[in-house]
């Protein structure tokens, strides 16, 4: 890599770090079965909560993992067996 490329790469990384101070990521793990509308309300609610502490919505990432009950263990059992 040439000196010019290295200096410009470093400069662009610094500029990026200055623009993106932090990007919170919220990961929600829950049993599958919620509707898209319920997930949308959940995302909006989490976003509002973060806005209240000064996080801009465009800086927030929310990931929802729908976990099948057969893949969730609790109290030594599969959740699918406990919630039948």
Known catalytic residues are 24
**Distance, CA of 19 to CA of 35 (rounded, Å):** 35
**Distance, CA of 51 to CA of 40 (rounded, Å):** 16
Strand-pair category, 77-78 with 73-74: antiparallel
């Amino acid at each position: 890599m040439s000196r010019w490329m290295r200096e410009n790469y470093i400069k662009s990384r610094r500029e990026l770090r200055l623009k993106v101070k932090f990007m919170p990521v919220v990961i929600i793990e829950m049993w599958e079965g919620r509707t898209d509308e319920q997930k949308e309300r959940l995302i909006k609610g989490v976003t509002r909560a973060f806005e209240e502490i000064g996080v801009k919505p465009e800086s927030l990432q929310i990931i929802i993992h729908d976990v099948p009950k057969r893949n969730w263990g609790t109290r030594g059992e599969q959740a699918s067996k406990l919630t039948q």
